[in-house]
Amino acid sequence: MSEPFLVCLVDGQRVSLPLGLVREAARLPRIEPLPGSPPEVLGVAMVRGAPVGVVDAAQLLGLGAYRPSNPLPAAERAVDGAEARRKKVLVVLKRPLALVVDRIEGVRDEPGSAVPLPLDGLFARPDVRSTAIRGDRPGAEIMRET
Amino acid sequence: MPEGSARFLREFVSEGETLLAQAEEHLSVLSEGSEDPSPQTLNALFRAVHSLKGVAGMVGLPAFAEAAHAFESLLDAVRRGQLPFDLVVANATRKSVEALRKGVAEVAKKGSDSPFPLAYFALIEKARVPRVTVVRPEPEVSLPPDLAAVISEYERTRLVDSARKGKTLVVLPLEFTFDGFDEGLRKAMGQASAMGELIGTFPGASASPDGLSFQLLVAIPEGVSARDLARSAAAAAFHVLEVSFPAPLPGALEEPPVVEAPAEVAEAAPTTAFAPETTVRVDLEKISHLLDLAASLAVARAELRRALLPIVPRVDDRAALREVQRAMAGLDAISAALSRAALATRLVPVDFLALRLSRAVKQLAKSLGKEAELFIFGAETELDKVLADQLADPLMHMVRNALDHGIERPEEREAKGKPRAGRLELRAETRGRDVLLALSDDGRGVDAERVLARARERGLVAAGESPRAEEILFLPGFSTADEVSEISGRGVGLDVVRENIRALEGTVVLSSTPGAGTTFTITVPMTLALVESLLVTAGGRSFAIPASAVERTLPADQERYEMVRGRASLRDEAGLMPVVRLETLLGLSSTGNLRTGVLVVAQQGPARAALVVEEVLGLSDLIVKPLPDDIPRAREVTGTAEREGGGLTLALDAGLLVLRASEGES
């Protein structure tokens, strides 16, 4: 049986990621921008006492505005729209990484028309992903907040 | 002293003389009536010596700092009630103050320090041996929860000690307006100190939205009434704490016997068979969980505060608002205290390792017919307990190695003009996101030719190759010992040490000077650490720089810069250093120039840089959590720490900042 997928909404588009990678979903915490990080990295946040890198799923998909001339474009954008931010959801992965999405649609057996989120090569640790898929029970701690 | 300018030394001498004068004054007060020494005076004496140690460390006088540290440890044991201030301690205290005074005079004269005589340390050690341990029932004091959450270990010791002596424990709530609260508080504290012992001053929950409240915890002797104390301190109310003494255990003696503590075990176990068990083993997983919960509580508290902010202006019910404010203040205090307490359960000072190593050194040296002593620097550096446990074996191996192969026999050392006893030094410090542990000996060093010859004999090195001896020593199967010795030649070589350290994602490096000694330097990433940090703002954000790397701070607008190779530079007695804005180094947009804000002079070894920041917020002990390597960022950012009141501070690697600032120069 194939692994289920978590389907989320990002900038009006359905995206999917393997459920085995996901640890939990949470409200967006305060994010501290990180100097010198690429635009899709919004910064760092503390999740259950541990620092995780927070990635803007929209930027990851190439849907967001890319402004390479500014050293912290994504971060500044995130700080601006406080109201919009409040409604977003943090999808925490089983590695020091979390994704900001607009909404969680649900868990599906097949991704269907949802676009897979391009997580490969996001951070340079190729072994991490396969370990997470092999070793974990998928979806155990998913908490839906939509 | 290899580094440091004349100006720092002058400052040290001036500060040192002032602190020692204070110490002598406290000592004379203590000597007048040593029956029941004043805790405030003892504490003040301890603080003077503690400051002296800090100043010596800051200006690079390690021998002086080491001597002050030994003295400080003795005073700490006395102020915590672990040792009485008796004639032995009083004598050691007086002589230590004299010795430190001579040390300051030496620095003033020669511009450097030199190791204190062994007799100095021996005197202190002798005074630290518990002579008699008497078991007394521990009184139980019913502290209000808000005080119980914030009281320090020292304050608790004072509280229990006062209760044991039959003193009355009083909490005085004080309420002030913002204007002039400092004056009122100072007066109340003065009154409390005059009438009893002021154990601590704590924040209270203010009843008025524009008021400030405090609580004084005071122990008053017989003959002083709590009511009079409250009246004198202008407190509207007072609360006397209940003290109870637990009933003796069935079968226990009414008056437990006086027990002589054997000298060998005195340090580790200053209790007796009658003492109740005061420790409990807890699974580290549970402690990690507690830490995570404490962190989550801090985040939830910040969220609650954020959520309440827009609501407050719309609420007309002032009484309800006050209740919310009071509850939030209580939650803030408890949350902060819980975070610290949770962390404290997992952090241990390097002393934890040092005690084990120190005993091993004595025993091993004796069995080898050698003499050696272990000196520890940075013993207060705190490590995650898990990491400390994993480092214990490799360090023990290195100690064995140093004693077996490095330190010469006493006669041989004398013939070489060295002291009979070998000197081992363990230095611990945090650097960026790493913990550094360096173990040095002043033995014979590595004989490179012999090492290479032995490696060739064993076929570990091919005929044409000549790798460095420091590398060969870490090869599996290598040993220079002609016979398997009792101590280090049990088939476990340095290769295993290296493997163990690698498993912690660390490195171990050996450096050696023939005839002068060998140093092993272990570098391991911190899993968790409490780092004293200078909090600054740059580019509108807050950053933490390890205080150990900060030499000083200066107003930016009062310094004269020189242009050297087209770059602004600052010159002082110690030389020239680049001046650069911190946010520019980190690639953030800058609004200021080199003349606005504060200069933070950071150092890394001999290299220095003046970093211009917007504001210095102060010093703070931060729980720094290292950022995983795979979060992309400027490499100067090494970790994160939660700020009081919510939000994160980014912890910076001072060494890399200095390096980056200097890079532009060439």
What digits encode the pLDDT tens for the residues B77-95?
888 777 888 888 888 999 9
Q: What are the two backbone dihedrals, phi and then psi, of residue B250, each rounded to the nearest 5 degrees?
A: -55, 135
CA distance B442 to B402: 9
pLDDT average, residue stretch A89-112: 86
DSSP string, B409-454: PHHHHHHTT--SSEEEEEEEEEETTEEEEEEEE-S----HHHHHHH
Neighboring chain A residues of B310 at a CB cutoff of 8 Å: none
- Locate the DSSP E strands across B280-381: 347-349, 372-377
Residue A116: pLDDT above 90? Answer: no
User: Tell me, what amino acid is at B165?
Assistant: K
User: Which of B296, B631, B635 lies nearest to residue A44, judging by beta carbons?
Assistant: B631
Q: For chain A, how many residues are written? A: 146
What pLDDT, in 10s, does the model give residues B236-276?
888 888 887 765 433 333 333 333 333 333 333 333 333 34
* Contact partners, residue B639, CB within 8 Å, separation at least 6: A51, B433, B526, B624, B625, B626, B627, B650, B651
Q: How is chain A split among helix, strand and coil, in percent rounded to 5?
A: 20, 35, 45
Asked whether the beta carbons of A78 and A35 are under 8 A apart, the reply is no
Burial of B178 (0-12, 13-18, 19+ CB in 10 A): exposed
Q: Does A35 touch chain B (CB under 8 A)?
A: yes
CB contact under 8 A, B630 and A123: yes
> What is the Cα B393 distance to its own chain's centre?
23
User: Tell me, what amino acid is at B600?
Assistant: V
Mutation choice for B interface testing from A24, A27, A32 by most B CBs within 10 A? A32
Residue A99: pLDDT above 80? Answer: yes
Closest Cα of chain B to A79: distance in Å? Answer: 13
pLDDT value of residue A82: 52
CB contact under 8 A, A41 and B634: no
pLDDT value of residue B209: 60
pLDDT value of residue B557: 80
Cα distances (angstroms) measured from residue B606 to each of A133, B399, B549, B602: 48, 29, 11, 11
pLDDT value of residue B549: 83
CB contact under 8 A, B630 and A53: yes
- The helix (run of H) or strand (run of E) holding residue B343 is helix B318-346
Q: For chain B, how many residues are written? A: 666
Closest chain A residue to B639, measured at CA: A51
pLDDT value of residue B218: 92
> What is the Cα B128 distance to its own chain's centre?
20
Q: What are the two backbone dihedrals, phi and then psi, of residue B426, each rounded to the nearest 5 degrees?
A: -115, 120
Radius of gyration of chain A from its Cα atoms, rounded to whole angstroms: 14
Q: What confidence category does residue A100 fall into, taking pLDDT thresholds of 50, 70 and 90?
A: very high
Provide the phi-psi class of B618: left if phi over 0, else alpha when psi is between -120 and 50, else beta.
left
Angle subtended at Cα B40 by Cα B39 and Cα B44, rounded to the nearest 5 degrees: 115
Give just the sign of the alpha carbon dihedral B485, B486, B487, B492. positive
What is the separation, in whole angstroms, between the first and last Cα of chain A? Answer: 28
Closest Cα of chain A to B336: distance in Å? Answer: 14
CA distance B503 to B157: 40
User: Which of A38, A46, A71 lies nearest to residue B640, judging by beta carbons?
Assistant: A46
Edge-first strand listing for the sheet containing B211-220? B197-203, B211-220, B168-177, B239-240
* Contact partners, residue B261, CB within 8 Å, separation at least 6: B129, B130, B131, B132, B133, B269, B270, B272
Neighboring chain A residues of B303 at a CB cutoff of 8 Å: 27, 29
Count of other CB atoms within 10 angstroms of residue B474: 17
- The helix (run of H) or strand (run of E) holding residue B318 is helix B318-346
pLDDT value of residue B266: 32
| Predicted complex: ipTM over 0.90 | no
Q: Which residues of chain B have pLDDT under 70?
A: 1-5, 7, 32-36, 130-137, 178-182, 205-211, 246-281, 284, 299, 302, 340, 432-433, 476-493, 527-530, 621, 644-646, 664-666
Of residues A138 and B449, more confidence is placed in B449
User: Which of A46, A49, A97 lies nearest to residue B648, judging by beta carbons?
Assistant: A46
> What is the Cα B151 distance to its own chain's centre?
19
User: Which of B587, B631, B648 lies nearest to residue A53, judging by beta carbons?
Assistant: B631
CA dihedral B382, B384, B389, B391 (to 10 degrees): -70
Q: Which residues of B609-624 are buried (b: 16+ CB within 10 A; e: fewer)?
A: bbbbbbebbeebebbb
Q: Which residues of B5-28 are buried (b: 16+ CB within 10 A; e: fewer)?
A: eeebbeebbebbeebbebbbebbe
CB contact under 8 A, A46 and B642: yes
User: Which of B291, B586, B648 lies nearest to residue A35, judging by beta carbons?
Assistant: B586
- The helix (run of H) or strand (run of E) holding residue B299 is helix B284-308
User: Tell me, what amino acid is at B440?
Assistant: S
Asked whether the beta carbons of B659 and B453 are under 8 A apart, the reply is no
Mutation choice for A interface testing from B299, B582, B623 by most A CBs within 10 A? B299
CB contact under 8 A, A96 and B630: yes
Count of other CB atoms within 10 angstroms of residue B455: 23
